[in-house]
Structure 1
Amino acid sequence: MTRPGEPGYAASAREARAHETDSSVVPDATNRRRPWTLRRRLLVIVAGLLVAVSAVIGIATVLVFHTSSVERLDMSLRATASRATEAAPPGFPSDPRATVVEFLQVPGQPVGTLGVLVAGDTVSAAYISETGELLEPGGAAIAALASVPPDGEPHTIAAGPLGEYRALSVESHPQVRTVLALPLADVNTQTAQLAWTVAIVAAVGLVLALGVGWLVVSRALAPLGRVTATAKAVSELPLDRGDVDLTERVAEADEVTEVGRLGTAFNRMLGHVASALTAREHSEQKVRRFVADASHELRTPLASIRGYAELTRMHGRDLPPDVIHAIGRIESESVRMTELVEDLLLLARLDEGRELASQPVDLGRIVGEAVGDAQAAGPDHDWEVRMPDAAPHVMGDEPRLRQVVSNLLANARIHTPEGTEVVATLDRDGDEVVLSVEDNGPGIPQQLAESLFERFARGDSSRSRLAGSTGLGLAIVRAVVEAHHGTVGVVSEPGSTRFTVRLPAAPAGAEAEPAR
């Protein structure tokens, strides 16, 4: 048995801490995406619908405007071609360049008008600049205009650096073709301005609609938020024990809206739960009162039985051996029943919420003494204690804490076979003191581990029920630990069972009273 100050003692404590840390770490293998709230879903749906409707309306508006603008431009183009055709001299032109100039000098021709005269193999072109001058376009513009078919219908062409044009080709003579074109720059500019205007108005409208929608959705979901707040408040109540005053209700719940009906139903459910909890608490109080009263009343007759048995055995020299043996059995069973009654009384007091003493306790001294007692009671087991040189202190009731350690060691002794190694480890973990009792016995069945700390819980053949087990030891451990605001748990598998108790550490400077 390794004791404080001996070589290898700190290493043993570190190994125990590492083993406990490794067993308590559970990797988070799932990385799920956080789901959206109902408010966010509604706002996203509304925003999507608004964007879709705005896009359809905007695109339709721009397309209609652009189409109508191009149609008006085509009407102007036909009028321009008509005026130019009327001003053209009859017959084959002797001077194509002069004829094109005459076309473009007809009054009313807009700026940017471009004209081409194709007479046989001769191509002459000119356009009206922004200053009103007649200039000759580049070769790309001339080639694009010359390729317009003479079908009397306007066509959109790319006139090189001059941009896009609507061109109309008219055959004024079997070998003479006149092509006139008006620029699409103004139409494209106006269409782009309209598109930007629609986009800006739609964006502003979307922002305003989302703001108003957020207010409306928040107001509509406010009763649902009250239901959630009430459910959260109820979930934080200690409904598993004690007299619970379940007064939480959803405020302003009505049956007009769907959420209001949910709140009303939730209130009715809370009423039923409160009634059930009250009935359960009254029943448990009766049971606890009966157990406490019965245990208290049984102490006197048990003491009398034990006393008379001892007295008879002391003065029973003339009694037959079998009678003396029977009296001894009566005495031992009365002792065992007295322990059971004392355990029931302790659990009844803890159930009633009686406060325990709170003073600095040297838990290291308790563990060392308890392991020594366990070694004397179970010499066929291999006992070991591991703790740091400066054993941590806790605030609590020393007799009850001693009972916790003794019950854990007795549980390992009673329910494991001979030769089992039992290790008691005491260490400090932040603001907590950690006590663990580990054995390499057969382990605890999974179906029993879930009810191990319940009263009168017993194991099967894998953890033998030897004499002396009342089934209340671990229930007392949990009740005492929770009364000290601590926790207790167990991890078991074949070949390893570890009980872990965590208790709040005593504040710095608190010293326990020396042992008497």
Structure 2
Amino acid sequence: MVAATDRPARWRSPTGWPLRTRLVAIMIALLAVLGLVVGGTAALYLKRSLHSQLDDQLDDARRLSRGFGPRPGDQQQPGASGQSQNDGKGVPPGARTDWIVLFLDSSMTEQGGGRVQYRDPETTTTDGRFSSYFERLTDTERADLLTVEPGGGKETVSVGDLGDYRVAIFPTRSFPSGSQEGYIAVGLPLADANTILLTVAGFTGCVVLGSLLIAGWAGALIIRRTLKPLDRVAATASRVAELRLDRGEVRLAQRVPERDTDPRTEVGQVGAALNRMLDHVGSALEARHASEMQVRQFVADASHELRTPLAAIRGYAELTRRSRQPVPDELAHVLGRVESEAKRMTALVEDLLLLARLDAGRPLAQDPVDLTMLAVDATSDAHAAGPGHYWQLDLPDEPVTVTGDGARLHQVLANLLANARTHTPEGSTVTVKVGTVPDAAVLQVIDNGPGIPPELVPHIFERFARGDSSRSRAAGSTGLGLSIVHAVVTSHGGKVGVQSRPGQTVFTVMLPSAVPTTEQHTPYLPRVG
């Protein structure tokens, strides 16, 4: 669920994109901006060029329009479109279809002209000489046309339903009807120019879009091939990350290939730096492992050497108590304390020696072990050691068998029961439960005591971790019992975990089953690690 909700949020921001995607996106964005700039510049230049050509035609039309215009006695004839039209005698030479030529007097009153039209080639006037005529403008079209400043520059005007026109109004004295001042309004349609602009813009857009698609596809291939060395560097780092580096001997054989460590390239610099870092980390891990081995060897040697003097101390203390000569009470008490502390020290030394041997990887016995009988024996011993507790067994109908060291597994259960007896008050109930899950046997020790402090739970299986500050076996423990449990279970390829709350603490041991089974006989299975 988390990955499903995080992915859209990550893709909304470019910072969460892969490097390849960002490079391709940046390249396409730059090419798109470049295409827009080039296409926009070309369109603006073409527009100015086309308008400049129209302006030149307006200047030519001004010159050619002199001497043309309505003549006295010209008759208005109805046009094909229902509007009145003039005979084509006043149409200036060179005028084309849809041009507007309007003759005005000094008061800007229309004296003739209109939109130039050409008759069908098969249609001629009565004298057969004229094939063009003026189509009169509507009031709206005329008003739009006359918004241009007389004698001013050329302007683009939208003339009613006729569309956009390039219009200029020139002063003139060339009316044939007299020499009075007047004006000629000439408008050239922009339809063809706009069509050219739209065609060029559409073609340019298609070319730019196609170029972007090709560039994106080619860029993705090139970038993918270029970043292949980075993938190999990342793969090396991933393989190293999967190694367990916290304990034991670690051999960092993974290195970035030689071809990906060229210092002349950025990826090569990263690869070379990663190799140097792995060299340093490998050296540090070797030094750490050597130091650990020295400490373990020292603990093993010291524990082994201490067993003899401790046995001697205990022997002499016991021999003194058995002497026939009377021993003062004070001396007897001192000797009893010496023997008690010697026993305590012997147990501590034995625990340290066992941990050192397990850390060294000394192989354990691989014999069939019946966990049900082991639970019965260990619970009986615990009942004898703690008669003030209530001890219960929850066993399956069939024996549960695992392969391992029976003595060490008995020690695991004995330590768990001793831990429950030590840290729960008298009258507490301790239940030993044996069951199975698919391909594993489960051993649980459950008590209804006060529970383990939450801050201690993550460290409960560490060495010398204790629930109180006392090191006395009467009041507390040395903190090695549960660490031995963890070490023995781990050596058997199993897992151990704990869940605790006030009123219930559950220690769960999972061991590989000697006989694979799919049956399940454990109603409560907390998480183990």
TM range (shorter): 0.7 to 0.9
1:202 to 1:510, Cα distance in 2 relative to 1, 3 A: closer
Residue 167 of structure 2 is matched in structure 1 by 167
- Distance across 2 between alignment mates of 1:28 and 1:201: 40
Residue 523 of structure 2 is matched in structure 1 by none
**Of residues 89, 94, 102 in structure 1, which corresponds to 2:89?**
102
* SS of equivalent to 1:87: coil
**Of residues 111, 116, 119 in structure 2, which corresponds to 1:127?**
116
- Distance across 1 between alignment mates of 2:3 and 2:474: 42
- Distance across 1 between alignment mates of 2:370 and 2:119: 103
- Distance across 1 between alignment mates of 2:306 and 2:515: 41
**Of residues 25, 39, 43 in structure 1, which corresponds to 2:20?**
39
Aligned-pair CA distance for 1:396: 4.2
Residue 479 of structure 2 is matched in structure 1 by 471
Asked whether the 8 Å contact 2:70–2:111 carries over to 1, the reply is: no
1:266 to 1:438, Cα distance in 2 relative to 1, 3 A: same
Give the paired residue count. 483
1:477 to 1:171, Cα distance in 2 relative to 1, 3 A: same
1:198 to 1:242, Cα distance in 2 relative to 1, 3 A: same
Aligned-pair CA distance for 1:497: 4.9
**Of residues 244, 260, 274 in structure 1, which corresponds to 2:250?**
244
Aligned-pair CA distance for 1:453: 2.3
**Of residues 171, 188, 192 in structure 2, which corresponds to 1:186?**
192
Asked whether the 8 Å contact 1:459–1:465 carries over to 2, the reply is: no
**Of residues 34, 37, 44 in structure 2, which corresponds to 1:63?**
44
The one-letter code matched in structure 1 to 2:249 is: D
Asked whether the 8 Å contact 2:470–2:476 carries over to 1, the reply is: no
Aligned-pair CA distance for 1:415: 2.9
- Distance across 2 between alignment mates of 1:361 and 1:510: 19
- Distance across 2 between alignment mates of 1:275 and 1:397: 36
- Distance across 2 between alignment mates of 1:134 and 1:453: 109
Aligned-pair CA distance for 1:474: 1.4
**Of residues 312, 316, 320 in structure 1, which corresponds to 2:327?**
320
Aligned-pair CA distance for 1:460: 2.8
Asked whether the 8 Å contact 1:427–1:433 carries over to 2, the reply is: yes
Q: How does 1:197-212 map to 2 (within 5 A)?
A: 197-212=203-218
* SS of equivalent to 2:236: helix
1:464 to 1:295, Cα distance in 2 relative to 1, 3 A: closer
- Distance across 2 between alignment mates of 1:333 and 1:373: 23
Q: Does 1:351 align with 2:338?
A: no
1:151 to 1:379, Cα distance in 2 relative to 1, 3 A: farther
Aligned-pair CA distance for 1:473: 1.0
- Distance across 1 between alignment mates of 2:480 and 2:117: 110
- More off after superposition, 65-74 vs 462-471: 462-471
Asked whether the 8 Å contact 2:114–2:137 carries over to 1, the reply is: no
Asked whether the 8 Å contact 2:98–2:115 carries over to 1, the reply is: no
- More off after superposition, 94-103 vs 270-279: 94-103
1:124 to 1:69, Cα distance in 2 relative to 1, 3 A: closer
Aligned-pair CA distance for 1:66: 1.4
Q: Does 1:273 align with 2:262?
A: no
1:353 to 1:510, Cα distance in 2 relative to 1, 3 A: farther
Which runs of 5 or more structure 2 residues have no equivalent in the other structure? 11-15, 77-83, 122-131, 174-179, 520-529
The one-letter code matched in structure 2 to 1:83 is: L
Relative contact order higher in (CA < 8 Å, ≥ 6 apart)? 1
Residue 54 of structure 2 is matched in structure 1 by 73
**Aligned Cα RMSD in Å?**
4.1
1:94 to 1:148, Cα distance in 2 relative to 1, 3 A: farther
What percent of counterpart residues are identical? 48
**Of residues 25, 32, 39 in structure 2, which corresponds to 1:51?**
32
Aligned-pair CA distance for 1:144: 3.1
Q: Deviations over 1:344-392 (max 9, x none)?
A: 2322222122344456655455445544543443343455566776786
Residue 455 of structure 1 is matched in structure 2 by 463
The one-letter code matched in structure 1 to 2:280 is: H
Residue 128 of structure 2 is matched in structure 1 by none
- More off after superposition, 114-123 vs 177-186: 114-123
* SS of equivalent to 2:66: helix
- Distance across 2 between alignment mates of 1:420 and 1:353: 38
Asked whether the 8 Å contact 1:292–1:344 carries over to 2, the reply is: yes
Q: Does 1:341 align with 2:322?
A: no
* SS of equivalent to 2:468: coil
Aligned-pair CA distance for 1:471: 2.1
The one-letter code matched in structure 2 to 1:320 is: V
Q: How does 1:45-444 map to 2 (within 5 A)?
A: 45-88=26-69, 94-95=74-75, 101-104=88-91, 106-117=92-103, 120=109, 125-128=114-117, 134=133, 136=135, 139=138, 141-172=141-172, 177-218=183-224, 221-252=227-258, 253-300=261-308, 302-303=310-311, 316=323, 319-320=326-327, 322=329, 329=337, 331-358=339-366, 361-363=369-371, 366-367=374-375, 369-381=377-389, 383=391, 396-420=404-428, 422=430, 435-439=443-447, 441-444=449-452
- Distance across 1 between alignment mates of 2:194 and 2:40: 15
* SS of equivalent to 1:157: strand
Asked whether the 8 Å contact 1:111–1:130 carries over to 2, the reply is: no
Asked whether the 8 Å contact 1:443–1:492 carries over to 2, the reply is: yes
Larger radius of gyration, structure 1 or 2? 2
- Distance across 1 between alignment mates of 2:437 and 2:73: 109
- Distance across 2 between alignment mates of 1:206 and 1:242: 55
Which runs of 5 or more structure 1 residues have no equivalent in the other structure? 1-25, 512-516
1:213 to 1:308, Cα distance in 2 relative to 1, 3 A: same
The one-letter code matched in structure 2 to 1:145 is: L
1:41 to 1:206, Cα distance in 2 relative to 1, 3 A: same
* SS of equivalent to 1:204: helix
- Distance across 1 between alignment mates of 2:46 and 2:280: 67
- Distance across 1 between alignment mates of 2:30 and 2:427: 75
Asked whether the 8 Å contact 2:437–2:518 carries over to 1, the reply is: no
